[in-house]
């Protein structure tokens, strides 16, 4: 699951015109890494929500922007697992 | 490399050397510096100083200070009204390694004399208006000089920039002074830059902060933080002096400045939003504003809703990047001692998270709501004392270890605030601990939360203050209302106020009274001095 989430996120960033060359789990979403702007982060959150049904609140932007790609994928995977457990 | 990344990765960068580090990392001379609403060194008011010009003006002051014999680690007080005098001198004192002690120009003369004495300051730099308050007074040996004269130095003769370590003190700012002599709070090179590093340099580029109008007090922690953030981000910054002047006229000054300068962001303390509530914002040109930023006390819902109704902001929706009507209001409760906002919540026209919700802690902050009797954290939904761990925390109180250690508790700094947390992890500020009153039987009167509820229930009340305390062995509560210009002063608001207070507190209600503005005693930053208000009103028990 983690691998497919990572692939989805990197593809999304590519579609959003970010340079994804060399982006991996340790790449920060902030300026040291992918350098995702705040509104682009909102776009990424909406793409993830549409794909996986996992929602990120407006007040989580600061926390999300401090994550690496790997940490972001793990957060999505965790929420998916919680949502699945709640649905069972 | 992106200069923001270079700055974020520079371990020597801190609050004491922002100018020097920007230059070292190649900041262009034509990058934005700062704009003041007053003239300085022959440079006209409202004309922007580029980054290069700003460095030049600061270097001139550094040269002058050096020439005057100001040495590294000398505490030097700055007591002036102009934001230019305050901030340029601040940076110059950092340049030479002295410790700037910024004083709000609204601080009364008597208080200022005692404050300077307690600082054990080497020198005081002041303007003509304040000089007469200090002349002939015992300042504990501090010499007094004209702050404007500092600008006459020759920039080419500035000494080398002082080299700071992380825990070196780089600024002394004071609390609002609402209960006592303003407390002198000392910040370090690392602490006063920790939030800027994590949020503004290592965080994503944010929309809406391209042009910042600051109605914050320059002489306070929030003023320094705003200066550093704007410089590091390359934002344009207009700094108004004295929060726009005397508070009852400051709303008009801020609105005029918005229409003249077209900021995308407006920064202020709660008093600014309360003053803007005097005006019909729809009748003014607020179209440039994308975001309002509040720090200090939590802002009131009724004031916030008026602000988010005007302007516009850019957001991402399923239709793509769009500009939507209405601005955003970012509320960040904080204090001098906290060294930055501890929490953050964002409001906009469609949002509805109010009731003194302060949002969630910043990523660098660790918060515990504590029961001080047991030392344990209180359960969700229960009110506790805010304990904070944060790299932004001030070192302590200058020349006052007793007070420094009094507010430390099990590794936390006790902010003096009372909050509860809901099941989603959002925090709500109910009151300052010192202002809350135990009503017995597990009931408490929270004055700040009561004010919030009164304002929501009484739309023609512009602001209000709830004053409560013990008098003759019982709790009495006075509700003081500041009315809208068009409000009926004789309207019966008793039912709405009682409902806002809730039954246990309503039982202590003595009177509800519409008061003129000058009946509310405020400190230098516009914060209500509840301690004095309590003394004044409780002394009047029994009188109508």
Residue B538 confidence (pLDDT) above 80: no
CB contact (8 A) between residue B315 and residue A37: no
Using a CB-CB cut-off of 8 Å, the residues of chain A touching B200 are none
Name the fold adopted by B441-538: GMP Synthetase; Chain A, domain 3 (3.30.300)
Closest CA to B469 of B417, B510, B523: B510
Q: Are B314 and B321 in contact (CB under 8 A)?
A: yes
Using a CB-CB cut-off of 8 Å, the residues of chain A touching B2 are 31, 35
CB contact (8 A) between residue B207 and residue A39: yes
Whether domain B190-351 has CATH 3.40.50.980: the reply is yes
Residue B542 confidence (pLDDT) above 50: no
Q: Are B186 and B169 in contact (CB under 8 A)?
A: yes
pTM to 2 decimal places: 0.95
Measured between alpha carbons, how far apart are the two ends of chain B, in Å?
69
Residue B359 CB contacts under 8 Å (≥ 6 apart), including other chains: A59, B331, B343, B344, B345, B346, B353, B426, B427
- Look at residue B179 in the predicted model and tell me its pLDDT: 62
Query: Minimal Cα–Cα distance from A87 to chain B, Å?
Result: 19
Q: Read off the CATH number of the domain in which A27 is found.
A: 1.10.1200.10
Residue A69 confidence (pLDDT) above 60: yes
Which helix H or strand E contains B514, and what residues bound it? strand B509-514
CA distance A34 to A24: 10
CA distance B232 to B16: 13
Dump pLDDT digits (tens) for B62-72. Answer: 999 999 999 99
CA distance B60 to B41: 10
**What ranges make up the beta strands (E) of B55-210?**
75-79, 99-103, 123-126, 143-146, 169-174, 184-188
Q: How confident is the model at residue B473 (pLDDT cuts 50, 70, 90)?
A: confident
Q: How confident is the model at residue B202 (pLDDT cuts 50, 70, 90)?
A: confident
CA distance B128 to B504: 52
> Under the phi-then-psi rule, with left for phi > 0, alpha for psi from -120 to 50, and beta for the rest, what region is A35?
left
> Residue A81 sits in which domain range?
2-87
Q: How confident is the model at residue B507 (pLDDT cuts 50, 70, 90)?
A: very high
Residue B370 confidence (pLDDT) above 70: yes
* ∠ CA B405-B409-B412, rounded to 5°: 105
Share of chain B above pLDDT 70, in %: 98
Q: Which among A31, A46, A50 has CB closest to B202?
A: A31
Would the CATH topology of B52-189 be identical to that of B190-351? yes
Q: How confident is the model at residue B543 (pLDDT cuts 50, 70, 90)?
A: very low
Residue B142 CB contacts under 8 Å (≥ 6 apart), including other chains: B77, B116, B117, B119, B121, B122, B123, B124
CA distance B286 to B267: 14
Closest CA to B518 of B446, B465, B460: B465
Query: Minimal Cα–Cα distance from B363 to chain A, Å?
Result: 6
Two tokens, residue B428: 């709500």
Higher pLDDT, B178 or B339: B339
Dump pLDDT digits (tens) for B290-323. Answer: 999 999 999 999 999 999 999 999 988 888 889 9
Dump pLDDT digits (tens) for B12-31. Answer: 999 999 999 999 999 999 99
- Interface probe for A, chosen from B196, B204, B313 (most Cβ of A below 10 Å), is B204
Two tokens, residue B261: 């300068």
Helix axes A2-15, A69-87, angle to 10 degrees: 120
Closest CA to B351 of B301, B408, B401: B301
Residue ranges of chain A whose CB lies within 8 Å of a chain B CB? 28-32, 35-43, 46, 50, 58-59, 61-63, 65-66
Dump pLDDT digits (tens) for B378-387. Answer: 999 999 999 9
Domain locations in chain B as residue ranges: 52-189, 190-351, 365-432, 441-538
CB contact (8 A) between residue A30 and residue B204: yes
CA distance B348 to B332: 15
Dump pLDDT digits (tens) for A26-56. Answer: 999 988 889 888 888 999 999 999 999 998 8
**Domain B52-189 architecture:** 3-Layer(aba) Sandwich (3.40)
CA-nearest residue to B364 within chain A is: A63
Closest CA to B68 of B133, B56, B60, B136: B60
ipTM of the complex: 0.85
Name the fold adopted by B365-432: Luciferase; domain 3 (2.30.38)
Residue B541 confidence (pLDDT) above 80: no
Domain count along chain A:
1
């Amino acid at each position: 699951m983690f691998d497919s989430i990572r692939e989805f996120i990197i593809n999304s960033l590519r579609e959003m015109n970010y340079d994804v060359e060399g982006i991996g789990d340790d790449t920060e979403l902030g300026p040291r890494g992918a350098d995702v702007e705040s509104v682009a982060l909102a776009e990424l959150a909406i793409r993830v929500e549409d794909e996986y049904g996992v929602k990120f609140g407006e007040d989580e932007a600061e926390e999300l922007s401090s994550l690496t790609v790997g940490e972001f994928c793990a957060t999505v995977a965790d929420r998916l697992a919680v949502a699945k457990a709640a649905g069972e | 490399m992106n200069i923001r990344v270079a700055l974020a990765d520079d371990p020597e960068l801190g609050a004491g050397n922002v100018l020097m580090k920007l230059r070292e990392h190649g900041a262009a001379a034509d990058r934005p510096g700062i704009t003041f609403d007053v003239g300085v060194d022959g440079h006209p008011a409202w004309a922007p100083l580029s980054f290069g010009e700003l460095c030049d003006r600061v270097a001139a002051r550094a040269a002058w200070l050096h020439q005057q014999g100001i040495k590294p680690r000398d505490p030097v007080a700055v007591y002036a009204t102009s934001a230019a005098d305050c901030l340029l001198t601040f940076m110059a004192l950092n340049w030479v390694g002295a410790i700037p002690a910024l004083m709000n120009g609204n601080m009364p003369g008597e208080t200022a004399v005692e404050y300077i004495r307690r600082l054990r300051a080497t020198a005081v730099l002041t303007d003509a208006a304040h000089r007469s308050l200090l002349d002939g007074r015992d300042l504990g040996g501090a010499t007094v000089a004209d702050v404007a004269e500092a600008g006459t130095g020759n920039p080419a003769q500035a000494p080398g920039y002082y080299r700071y370590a992380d825990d070196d003190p780089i600024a002394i700012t004071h609390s609002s002074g609402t209960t006592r002599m303003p407390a002198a709070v000392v910040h370090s090179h690392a602490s006063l830059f920790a939030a800027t590093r994590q949020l503004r340099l290592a965080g994503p580029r944010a929309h809406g902060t391209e042009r910042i109008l600051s109605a914050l007090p320059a002489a306070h922690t929030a003023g320094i933080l705003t200066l550093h953030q704007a410089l590091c981000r390359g934002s344009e910054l207009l700094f108004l002096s004295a929060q726009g002047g005397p508070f009852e006229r400051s709303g008009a000054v801020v609105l005029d400045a918005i229409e003249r300068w077209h900021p995308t962001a407006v920064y202020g303390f709660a008093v600014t939003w309360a003053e803007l509530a005097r005006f019909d914002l729809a009748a003014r040109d607020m179209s440039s504003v994308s975001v309002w930023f509040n720090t200090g006390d939590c802002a009131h819902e009724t004031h916030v809703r008026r602000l988010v109704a005007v302007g516009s902001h850019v957001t991402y929706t399923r239709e793509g990047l769009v500009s939507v009507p209405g601005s955003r209001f970012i509320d960040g409760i904080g204090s001098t001692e906290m060294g930055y906002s501890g929490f953050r919540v964002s409001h906009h026209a469609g949002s509805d998270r109010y009731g003194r919700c302060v949002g969630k802690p910043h990523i660098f902050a660790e918060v515990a709501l504590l029961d001080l009797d047991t030392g344990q954290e209180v359960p969700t939904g229960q009110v506790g004392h805010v304990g904070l761990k944060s790299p932004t925390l001030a070192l302590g109180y200058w020349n006052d270890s007793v007070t420094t250690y009094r507010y430390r508790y099990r590794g936390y700094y006790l902010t003096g605030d009372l909050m509860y947390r809901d099941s989603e992890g959002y925090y709500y500020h109910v009151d300052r601990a010192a202002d809350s009153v135990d009503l017995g039987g597990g009931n408490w009167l929270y004055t700040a939360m009561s004010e919030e509820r009164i304002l929501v229930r009484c739309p023609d009340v512009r602001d209000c203050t709830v004053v409560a305390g013990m008098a003759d062995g019982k709790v009495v509560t006075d509700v003081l209302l500041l009315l809208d210009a068009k409000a009926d002063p004789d309207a019966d608001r008793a039912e709405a106020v009682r409902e806002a207070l809730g039954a246990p507190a309503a039982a202590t209600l003595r009177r509800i009274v519409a008061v003129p503005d000058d009946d509310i005693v405020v400190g230098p930053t516009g914060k209500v001095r509840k301690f004095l208000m309590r003394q004044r009103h409780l002394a009047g028990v029994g009188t109508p």
